[in-house]
Structure 1
Amino acid sequence: MKPVDAASLVIVRDRREVLMGLRSSRHVFAPQQYVFPGGRVDAGDSRVPAPFTLPVPVQRRLSRSVTAARGRGIAMAAVRETWEETGLLLARPLASPLRTRSPGWRSFYNKGLAPALDRVSYFARAITPPNNVRRFDARFFVADACHCVGSLRGNGELENLHWVSFADADNLPMFGITRAVLSLVRCALDTAPVPGTAPEVAPEVIERELVEQHPVTLPST
C-alpha cells in the first residue's frame, strides 16, 4: 500500500503547551490516541491561491522529497485540516477576500483571510510502516498560537480537544511517532535545557517511521 500525503500542525502556546485531541473510537486508523490537528492532503490544497509564501528554509527542506507545488499543498493541508478540526485559522487578513472554487477553502477565504504559510516551520516527516490498515507520508509543521485567529471548537474528528502542557502530555495515550514529534518540539522550546539533553525518540521509531527531521523554530514574523 502506497502511503498517502498527510500533514499535521503542532500549535504551541506560550512555549509551554500544545494543542492535541483524542481520535474517536470510530476511526479505523489510530482510534483513542492523542494526535495533533491534521489529515490527508486534498487535490485543491495545491491549486488554491496563497499570497503568503513558505519561508525559504521551509521550501528547501520540503524540496528534498517533493516538488514546490506539492510541498505548498502539503503545508496548505496542515492549515486547512487544523481549521476544520479545531476552529483555529493560521491566517492573515486581506484587503478583499480571495475567490476559489475549492469547497474546502471557500468559507476560509470568505472570511477575508489567507493561510499564513510564512508563519509555519517544517521540522519532521514520518511514514507509516507497512502492514498497517492505513499508511501516511506525513509532514509535521509547527506554528505559534499567537498567529492563529478564531475560537477553539471541534468538528467531531477530535474529542477532548485542549491545550496540554508538555509534562501532562507524557501521560496521554499516543503512538510512538506522535510522542517522538512532541519530544522534538519540547526539547527545542525548553527555556532551561539541561546541557547535553537530546530529544527522547525511541530507536524503533527512528528506524521504522521518522525519516526526516530538522531544527524546530517558531517563525515570529
Structure 2
Amino acid sequence: MIDKSALRDAATVIVLRDRTSVLMGQRGSSAAFMPGKFVFPGGAVDPGDSHVTLPPLNPTCENRLQSESDLPATALTAAAIRELWEETSQILGTSGRWDDAPADWADFAKTGFRPDPSPLSFFFRAVTPHGRPRRFDARFFLADAAALASDPDDFSTAEDELSHLQWVPLKDTRRFDLPFITKVVLAELIDHIDRDGPITSVPFFRNDDEAHLISRLGHADPL
C-alpha cells in the first residue's frame, strides 16, 4: 500500500506535436521540486479543480483514473488543463463564456474558453520516491497538439514557473537535463508511437519498494 498522507495528487500533460516533438520547459534553479530540470507542464491538484464542470472524459480513461484514486477523474483532468494553461498559456478547451468559474480558473475563463478534457488520454502514473522534499502522486495525460485551441508557438502569457518553453524533438530529449521519471515516460511514449496502436494499459511506477515496481493499470478496453 502507498502511504497517501505524504503525497499530493498531481496532473501532468504530455503534448505531442506531429508525433515528433513534445512541449517542455525548465524549472527554476531554486525550485523546491526538481530544480533546473526540463519537465512537462503540470502540478498539484487545487481545491477549485474539484468544482469544475467538464464535458465527459473518454470512459476508458475515466475508469482507469478511478481504479486507484479517491479523487474524481474530473478533478485530475481539470488540474491537467489548468496547469498546462498556467505554465505554457496553451489551451485545451472549447469556445464559450464561463461566468461562474472558480477563483483558480478566473484567468482561464477570461480567454473565452471553457476547459475540455476530451483530447486527454491517461498515459502514465508515478509516485515520487520517499525522501524527496515534496512528493506527488502524478497522473500523466497525453494530448495531441492539434487539439490545442491556442497558437502552439505562443507562450507570451505563461507564468514564470517554467522557462525556455519549447517543442523538443523526441530524438533530442536525452540532450536535456531530465528527471529520471521523465526519461521513463519518454521511453514509454516513443514505444507507444512506434507501436502505432491504442493505449492498452497505463504504466504505474509505484516507488513503494526497493524494486520500484511498475504495474499496469487497465489491460482491458484499449483506446
- The alignment's TM-score, normalised by the length of structure 1, stands at 0.83
For the 8 Å contact 1:92–1:114, the answer to whether it is kept is yes
1:116-135 mapped onto 2 (5 Å cutoff): 116-135=116-135
Q: Compute the displacement of 1:206 (Å).
A: 9.9
Matched positions, count: 205
Q: Compute the displacement of 1:192 (Å).
A: 8.2
Q: Which amino acid aligns with 1:77?
A: A
The alignment status of 1:42 with 2:46, answered yes or no, reads: yes
Q: Secondary structure at the match of 1:104?
A: helix
Quickly say closer, same or farther: Cα 1:213–1:48, change in 2 above 3 A: same
Q: Compute the displacement of 1:152 (Å).
A: 2.2
Quickly say closer, same or farther: Cα 1:204–1:79, change in 2 above 3 A: same
Quickly say closer, same or farther: Cα 1:43–1:74, change in 2 above 3 A: same
Quickly say closer, same or farther: Cα 1:58–1:191, change in 2 above 3 A: closer
Of 14, 27, 33, 2:37 maps to 33
Q: Which amino acid aligns with 1:170?
A: R
The alignment status of 1:23 with 2:27, answered yes or no, reads: yes
Q: Secondary structure at the match of 2:175?
A: coil
Q: C-alpha distance in 2, partners of 1:42/1:204?
A: 25
Q: How many percent identity over aligned positions? A: 34
- Structure 1 unaligned blocks of 5 or more: 194-198
CA RMSD of aligned residues (A): 2.7
Which position in structure 2 is the counterpart of 1:196?
Answer: none
Q: Secondary structure at the match of 1:187?
A: helix
Of 82, 90, 93, 1:91 maps to 93
Q: Compute the displacement of 1:166 (Å).
A: 0.7
1:54-133 mapped onto 2 (5 Å cutoff): 54-67=57-70, 70-94=72-96, 97-133=97-133
Q: C-alpha distance in 2, partners of 1:189/1:82?
A: 22
Q: Compute the displacement of 1:59 (Å).
A: 0.5
Which position in structure 2 is the counterpart of 1:170?
Answer: 174
Which position in structure 1 is the counterpart of 2:149?
Answer: 149
Quickly say closer, same or farther: Cα 1:103–1:74, change in 2 above 3 A: same
Q: C-alpha distance in 2, partners of 1:31/1:210?
A: 25
- Structure 2 unaligned blocks of 5 or more: 198-202
Quickly say closer, same or farther: Cα 1:15–1:191, change in 2 above 3 A: farther
Q: Secondary structure at the match of 1:190?
A: helix
- The alignment's TM-score, normalised by the length of structure 2, stands at 0.83
